[in-house]
């Protein structure tokens, strides 16, 4: 099985962060795109909170972007 290898880009020094709620409230992206951002945040949160397999304790890896 091929593993997804993420590409990380350098974040510009002048970059700022914004949470999804403010992103939506400030109409910074199209409404149809909010679900994509929410799904991406959900996957990232899952990977942050589930770094080991619940069955065997092995380290988990993102596969096929999920
Ligand atoms: Zn396991």
Residue 2 has pLDDT above 60, yes or no: no
Distance CA 48, CA 31 (A): 26
Of 47, 41, 49, 48, the C-alpha closest to 63 is 47
Q: Which residues are close to ligand 1, an ion, with C-beta < 5 A? A: 53, 55-56, 58
Ligand 1 centroid to Cα of residue 60, in Å, is 8
In tens, the pLDDT along 23-45 reads: 999 999 899 999 999 998 898 88
Q: Which pLDDT value is given to residue 3?
A: 61
CA of 56 to the centre of ligand 1 (A): 4
What pLDDT score was predicted for residue 53?
92
Structure tokens at 12: 């510009």
The answer to whether the pTM exceeds 0.75 is no
| CA 48 to ligand 1 centroid distance, Å | 17
């Amino acid at each position: 099985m091929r593993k997804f290898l993420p590409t990380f880009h350098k974040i510009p020094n002048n970059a700022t962060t914004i949470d999804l709620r403010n992103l939506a409230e400030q109409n910074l992206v199209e409404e149809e795109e909010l679900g994509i951002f929410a799904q991406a945040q959900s996957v990232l949160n899952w990977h942050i909170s589930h770094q080991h397999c619940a069955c065997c304790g092995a380290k988990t890896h993102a596969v096929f972007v999920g």
